[in-house]
Structure 1
Amino acid sequence: MKKSGLVGFIVFIFLLSACSQGQSQQSNPNDLSWDEIKQQADGTTVNIHMWGGDEGINQYMDEWVAPRLKEQYNITLERVPMDTQNILQKLQSEKQAGKKDGTIDIVWVNGENFKNAKENGLLYGPFRDQLPNFNDYYDQDSLAFQYDFGTPTEGYEAPWGKVQFVFQYDSNKISNPPKSFDELQSWINENPGKFTYPNPDDFSGNAFLRQLLYATVDDPKEIIEEPFSNEYATKKAEPMWEYLRTIKPDLWRNGEHYPASLTELDRLYSQGDVWMTMGYNEARAEHLIEQGVFPESTRSFVMEPGSLGNTHFLAIPFNSSNKSGAMAAINFLLSPDAQYKKLEPTYWGDNTPISVDKLPEEQQKKFESLDRGETVLSTERLENSFLPEADSGYVEWIKENWKDEIIRNQ
């Protein structure tokens, strides 16, 4: 081989090697200006791993977000459906193996999963305060952004949305939905087989139990304000377990089987096997009606003592190989345009954590005039019923104890 050819070949191999290492050699975004972060993100691929159990959410990401992110930032967004717990297990395994160049760039996370990820060093940050859209359009002092189920966020996650737990029912079959858990118990007894709830390993099923826990103590503040402990939870939860044991014989399939997921419960509702479903999204029924999954007679309700609500977030794994791309993508997802589209019932209908009063006047009017759909309760009703989440320790505790208290305790 001629010398000039050899030199060219070496240069080619060097360039090929640099490209193959790709995004893993990016500079730390903490050391960069926002313009430099955007430049570094340009032309890259961002892999977002997130729960994929809601088709409206999936369509929002694939049909609306991805093409606009490509157009505005030249970023290719790859959505990978995966339960958050499995994501964290993957990250934990990679951390133990010393893998510095991971394949996950963004995770959708909150609550117990965020607490576990943060405590085990699975997240990159802090990064939130570098995002222009967060600084421009969000209340940076809001406790909803400073704490996640009682865990300080400290800039390791950025607020993406906020939701409240509501029940859906078929108004052609139920004229007056229950106003309390006592009334729900009576309704279940009078309509055997027409109600059930997901196994609390599922997030929605777990939220149903946490909602019930609030209702079976003298005052929800007892649970909200008290730090979690096994002893305290055991003491306060006995009325909840007794309630669940009481309604069990009149549940769908006599309480011998519980839906493994919200998707399964929704299917039972859409088929008319049960007359109610539920979910941690006050507007979720809109796109399900539009898609012909739920009957048009579907409506929503909340019960006393109130409706659980929380903020959900986006975070970046410690070993993301494209942290700049992840930050650029998250900044876009926090933008007024992306938040407005997410608020529309067309895809998702998810409520926004954005501070509308920080928006330009024209955008304020746009947000305030949006009709979220007939199944969505009024803003006033939702705000008046809002109850913050308690310590995230209750989530895992309920998972661990439900089988003993309800399944094995016949």
Structure 2
Amino acid sequence: MKKWLPFAIILPALAACGSDEATETQAQDLSEASWDDIVSEAEGKEIGMYMWGGDEGVNQYMDDFVKPRLEEEYDITFNRYPMDAPDFLNRLMTEKEAGQTEGGADLLWINAENFRTAKENDLLYGDFAGTLPNLQEYIGTDVPFVNYDTGTPIEGHEAPWGNVQFTFQVNPDMVDEIPESLDDLMQWSIDNPGLFTYPNVNDFTGNTFIRHVMYHVADDPADLAEYDEEWLENNGDDVWESLRSFKESLWREGETYPETSEQLDQMFANGEVAFAMGFNEHRDIGMIEDGIFPENTKTISLEPGSIGNTHYLSVPFNTQEPEAALVAINFMLSPEAQIKKLDPAMWGEGHVLDADTLTEEQQAEAEELTGPAVVEQDEMLPELDARYFDWVIEHWEREIVQ
């Protein structure tokens, strides 16, 4: 049930050109328009969205809820185009180089390295987020994830769509004493060889596990608040030594690793390993209901805490219907749409709303869908700068696998 787009390939930067200036001017024009005028201009339009399509719950949410509501409330026809981020970034890059001003989509599901690549290469529409009433009213502009995406300044080029936390799923039938920290988990793996592993670090989930080990090594989480090459030089060996300390106890003695989080989920479902892991603290609910995970699966976080992750909605530079794109994004940030997204029968992931802005009825509805918090706010760790992702990929193969 991975719900985050994979790492983008690194694309060469393009020189700024006239079309970039035209796009920024269009974005400025929209920012100066009234919201009523934007909604009026969006009526009767058809839009498309590039988004990862590998999860049935996500697809159901978009097809059975978002699509009909946009048609009913705004007379906007919505189409979903399943595509991985590297693929649509390549497509946008080709269109940019060809000067193609009429693109094939109007919305993007994007974050992290993909966002950094798109922003650096002028593949996005521009500063639009401040135009959205629901962002202003229900999320606010002082929240860190509104202003930075894994270290990259957002500057209004995307709007937050979902917040999730990294958690572990445990099969209690295979684990007598559930670990409370990463130290406990490493020792459990040594005491129970072959029953724990993590995905290859080219997979977002596997990479995040290593970033948790980085937090485990750090004296203070604040040490990793900004990208710090000196910290890596001084502490990188400790990160790899922590991983090497229990490598031989991993599944298949650490000689091979699941290629994806989906493969690890299947191994967990089959009883090959006792732990699964991934972003979305409520992911176990849907997996149990679908008969994939054992019915008594427990979801836990481990000290030193759980990394939070935000994913976003953006607009490509060559959208043909910017007004309709903004109306669609604004709807997907509404309390109605965000609370519906909590429903484990569909997507089942966390919202981006400031709970204090919700009515008592909305708060009760959200809590009824999710139950008690799995990860408390004081256990949340900020997602690291995207350059740490690259560091993990660059060194893990040599330090751990070989």
Give the TM-score of the pair, scaled to structure 2: 0.87
Rounded Cα–Cα distance in structure 2 between residues aligned with 1:208 and 1:384: 19
Residue 53 to residue 245, structure 1, CA distance change in 2 (3 Å): farther
Is structure 2 residue 402 aligned with structure 1 residue 404? no
1:349-400: per-residue Cα shift (whole Å, max 9, x none)?
A: 2111112222344334433x42415xxxx43842121111222210122122
| CA-CA distance at 1:169 after TM superposition | 0.9
Question: Which residue is equivalent to 2:188?
Answer: 187
Question: Which residue is equivalent to 2:324?
Answer: 325
Question: Which residue is equivalent to 1:227?
Answer: 227
| CA-CA distance at 1:302 after TM superposition | 0.9
Is structure 2 residue 269 aligned with structure 1 residue 263? no
Residue 354 to residue 210, structure 1, CA distance change in 2 (3 Å): same
Question: Which residue is equivalent to 1:334?
Answer: 333
- The code of the aligned residue for 1:35 comes to D
Contact 2:281/2:374 (CA < 8 Å) preserved in 1? no
For residues 205-244 of structure 1, the aligned pairs below 5 Å read: 205-224=206-225, 226-229=226-229, 231-244=230-243
Residue 204 to residue 346, structure 1, CA distance change in 2 (3 Å): same
| CA-CA distance at 1:192 after TM superposition | 1.8
Contact 1:41/1:75 (CA < 8 Å) preserved in 2? yes
Rounded Cα–Cα distance in structure 1 between residues aligned with 2:393 and 2:86: 13
- The code of the aligned residue for 2:368 comes to L
1:197-222: per-residue Cα shift (whole Å, max 9, x none)?
A: 11111111111111111102222221
Partner SS for 1:370: helix
Rounded Cα–Cα distance in structure 1 between residues aligned with 2:123 and 2:329: 18
Rounded Cα–Cα distance in structure 1 between residues aligned with 2:355 and 2:317: 32
Rounded Cα–Cα distance in structure 2 between residues aligned with 1:51 and 1:255: 30
For residues 47-196 of structure 1, the aligned pairs below 5 Å read: 47-196=48-197
Structure 2 runs not aligned, ≥5 long: 1-25
Q: More displaced, 183-192 or 271-280?
A: 183-192
1:293-338: per-residue Cα shift (whole Å, max 9, x none)?
A: 1111111111111110132211111112222221111111001110
Partner SS for 1:310: strand
Contact 1:228/1:393 (CA < 8 Å) preserved in 2? no
Question: Which residue is equivalent to 1:372?
Answer: 370
Q: Aligned-residue CA RMSD in angstroms?
A: 2.1
For residues 270-309 of structure 1, the aligned pairs below 5 Å read: 270-309=269-308
Question: Which residue is equivalent to 1:13?
Answer: none
Question: Which residue is equivalent to 1:390?
Answer: 384
Contact 1:40/1:325 (CA < 8 Å) preserved in 2? yes
- The code of the aligned residue for 2:391 comes to W
Structure 1 runs not aligned, ≥5 long: 1-25
Contact 1:37/1:328 (CA < 8 Å) preserved in 2? yes
Partner SS for 1:182: helix
Contact 2:205/2:279 (CA < 8 Å) preserved in 1? yes
| CA-CA distance at 1:172 after TM superposition | 2.1
- The code of the aligned residue for 2:40 comes to Q
Tell me the matched-pair count.
376
Give the TM-score of the pair, scaled to structure 1: 0.86
| CA-CA distance at 1:186 after TM superposition | 1.5
- The code of the aligned residue for 2:321 comes to N
% of aligned pairs identical?
A: 46
